[in-house]
Structure 1
């Protein structure tokens, strides 16, 4: 089998903590995972996720990266994740949402140059309220840390802070100062300096994929893939496809048959949320842009519910589904009411408008509050985003360090889609495309696998109380095993 530093060789039991926990504050979705060291050392695979997060009738491994504050802006009583979005929708229904402060997708701010403790961000509701980025991030870290401890103690009530070792993952594209700032916040959130390790997202993903190849696929398939990716000086491309962005990193097989990253890049507007954007454009073409805008402005709760429904339902679409099969989708009843108000002199019904105005007239049927769409239409929406990803990848393949790429590895939430997997394979038939189990969880699971593997000897902490303002209070470099 292909040898790599990211193949997991568990530490001796006396060198490990009882529990390992990772916190993942993602671009769009966030969560945590944990493993009991004894369990993992027995099979090299057992990792537990948080209790399912519930949104309407859906349950997911992660919750959205959202935080809602009261109009006074105090962190006391803040709501997080799906609860924040549901609470905000409820305030909107009550007509008192105008002054509530809502933050989403804050991790993207850390990619910007010059981010520091004084950096402020504007909320997405009032668009005038500002809060320090680090205060919002600190609140999120505290929330998931407390949730993780609460979950672990449900099984073992006697677990203490000294029994837990924590792992944080950071994008490799972040500057060192930004990664250290993030670690600084984790310490301020209550995680012991001595019981914290930082790993980069690509190395975590590779750790997970290598362990998957080692333990979860048949021997013949394992030997075939190992023969491809273990060639000296061969390259593999890790494609992390998330909600908003596509992050690519290229890794070379070194002389000792370990991976070394030789190139990385990131491009926004090439993720799962862009399919959602295309769906809203599709609805605008069908019913009218004014109708969709009015729904978003005047009926936020129903608009959000519609978007959430599509976010979950789109995952059902498979590449082998017949193109003429119908995908039925329930629309908020306010759409029809708003349509009657805005178009009462031009169109009698939504069906009439679709037949007269929409380019999709032959592939769509509207029946009361249900929209019946041919699967081919939704596949086209995916193709728009996949075509952008293809152009992005092909431009990367032209780079000198990216020659000799023999395999693509797909991870990230967008990679969960069978349409995405099939689309990448179709566009790059010459590549070996590896998709591990639950690619959405590759970063979280891989970071725990690295923590089990690595003997962590953090530097001596600074004396006195930890102060965020001084450079001496943070470590000088990020831990790495690559």
Structure 2
């Protein structure tokens, strides 16, 4: 990772040098966008990589949701209804990238975006349509021919994919007729070499015999073939949006924002708008660049290594303190107490810290056990419940008679969201 970062930073310096512009490290502020749900280990890896190459201060983490909303606030297309967008208190952010897609429900009631729910990592982005295109070709020329073509003719395969990208982003739901696609000469030659037949004959033997015809070396496809390639991906996008809107915390959301490269497809846009007629669906003019531009805008204002988005706690977080007397060879509980720091459903902001002081009269042959835990319940938590998941345990032995004050803190550090349970920092100090 550090080598990759060094490579890109070096390219920036070389590019500026080519423009006769002198650039030093203090002039370069690096902004790293991270997914709505991001593991601590991921951000730690990035931090270590930056420190390794000498960048200890001039970088910041920005959530994708923050960056995209920043873009909408600063670069809004007034033709789409700015007044309606500013009135909304809840919205659905649909980020359709190449390989994956994510849906994030946000609340903006207090002016700060608060994440209500995230469905991330779905394999129903633009790459899913590309995979369908591969299967389309395989149905015509066969898997052995296709694999040989991809392996031996990489540049031609790349060129064919680029041609398909143009078609993919141009087809509209109301289109009817034909689209043109010219197959590479190398693919035709491999087909003739391996199967002793030309591409016209292969098409006639395929499921598309009545939907494709040729004008010399140009293949003319019925537009319905291209639309069919979108079917699985679009259905998953629609079903996942519906599933998210049915969640109790998200119910009543009437605004959908679509960003990401796959959102450029008029076919995808139309499908979402038709599936949710009661919602305002907004798409920027260049949805593929919304995240990039928003990150630059956000990076000008965000403090290094900090973030502002809050999240709704999915669990109750607390600590159980048990003062134990080990005298006479048996352990007896002198005092125990449970403290709840955050309850399920409460908003948690990055940097939130709760402090609790616990005072004990201690003497020899005693110790204290401090156990941090989480629970899926919102009411008073009993430490005997089987639902509790323990995070960390601290033990301290006492040596002598005196009063001991224990200071316990729980800090929700930036990007501590890991799977379902957040992993905050826990601090115990014996004063």
Identify the match of residue 217 of structure 1 among 48, 53, 78. Answer: 78
Report what 2:249 is aligned to: 401
Contact 1:236 1:409 in 2 (8 A): yes
Identify the match of residue 335 of structure 1 among 183, 187, 197. Answer: 187
- Whether 2:213 is the aligned partner of 1:365: answer yes
Q: How many residues align?
A: 312
User: For 1:397 and 1:410, how far apart are their aligned partners in 2?
Assistant: 15
Contact 1:333 1:369 in 2 (8 A): no
Contact 1:243 1:271 in 2 (8 A): yes
Contact 2:59 2:305 in 1 (8 A): no
SS at match of 1:145: helix
User: For 1:153 and 1:222, how far apart are their aligned partners in 2?
Assistant: 41
Superposition map of 1:160-179 within 5 A: 160-179=24-43
Change over 3 Å in CA distance of 1:392–1:457 after alignment to 2: closer
> How far off its partner does 1:297 sit?
3.3
Contact 2:66 2:113 in 1 (8 A): no
> How far off its partner does 1:263 sit?
0.9
Superposition map of 1:168-317 within 5 A: 168-190=32-54, 192-213=55-76, 216-218=77-79, 221-227=81-87, 229-230=88-89, 235-254=90-109, 256-317=110-171
Contact 1:168 1:196 in 2 (8 A): yes
> How far off its partner does 1:273 sit?
1.2
> How far off its partner does 1:278 sit?
0.8
User: For 1:236 and 1:243, how far apart are their aligned partners in 2?
Assistant: 22
SS at match of 1:193: coil
SS at match of 2:254: strand
Q: Which has the higher contact order (CA 8 A, sep 6+)?
A: 1
SS at match of 1:239: strand
Change over 3 Å in CA distance of 1:154–1:168 after alignment to 2: same
Instruction: Point out the structure with the larger helix share.
Output: 1
Q: Normalising by structure 2, report the TM-score.
A: 0.66
Answer with 1 or 2: which has the greater Rg: 2
User: For 2:108 and 2:305, how far apart are their aligned partners in 1?
Assistant: 27
Q: Deviation per CA, 1:128-157, whole angstroms, max 9, x where unpaired?
A: xxxxxxxxx323222222222333445562
Superposition map of 1:376-391 within 5 A: 376-391=224-239
Contact 2:106 2:117 in 1 (8 A): yes
> How far off its partner does 1:407 sit?
1.0
User: For 2:273 and 2:234, how far apart are their aligned partners in 1?
Assistant: 11
Report what 1:353 is aligned to: 202
> How far off its partner does 1:279 sit?
1.0
SS at match of 1:430: coil
Q: Normalising by structure 1, report the TM-score.
A: 0.59
Contact 1:138 1:189 in 2 (8 A): yes
Change over 3 Å in CA distance of 1:189–1:329 after alignment to 2: farther
> How far off its partner does 1:328 sit?
1.4
Change over 3 Å in CA distance of 1:295–1:479 after alignment to 2: closer
